[in-house]
Structure 1
Amino acid sequence: MSAGLTTHVLDTSREGPAEGVDVTLELIDDAGDATMLADATTNADGRVDDPLLSADEMETGTYRLRFEVGAYYRGLDAEPSFLETVPVRFVIDDVEEHYHVPLLLSPGGYTTYRGS
């Protein structure tokens, strides 16, 4: 896989992909201030169609993905979510590598990891 940043969301409470989750990518500067770089919505497979950062856009630094999971659960008319927005803060330290940041989600919790 070529360099870039991708993500997907799986809803473990529904045992499948989470379609319709709004995702925002931000770059965090040394003062802790965020600059929005990209936004997207997950597709029927729970994935964002295009990389949030392409290989050409990659730069080292601290980033944050924000997943709007409260709106996702409200849209399903599901049980209320304890979570509203899930922030995942991470570091890109090698622009030649691919970064994949999946979110495993339920109404009461989440987990994430660096995927492949």
Structure 2
Amino acid sequence: MLECLACSPASSAPAQPRYETVGQFYRTCSDETNRKANGRCEAYIAGAAETLSAFGNGGSEAEIRGRGVRWGELSRIFLAWAAENRHAGNLPRLAGVTMALHRHFSCRRTN
């Protein structure tokens, strides 16, 4: 198998990112039909929010302090952030979701 890999010609095409970008995720999430069909955006963002909340419980600075949200609210938070931050379109999806959640559910530490 390694011999086959060594023989395959090198591609001259630029390498594509191996992750979904903020811009790609924004287009998917803003497609109302797709969003209603599979809930992918809301589920992904909810998972990220839950993870960031758990980090906060462990004392990490990556935390967010959220509250109960209604279905669809998290994707609306991301969509609004992404529309205001088009310069972030090539960042990885998780980076954009994290920034959007931090902005919306920010908390200040008291020392």
Superposition TM-score, scaled by structure 1 size: 0.24
Superposition TM-score, scaled by structure 2 size: 0.24
Structure (1/2) with the larger helix percentage: 2
Structure (1/2) with the larger strand percentage: 1
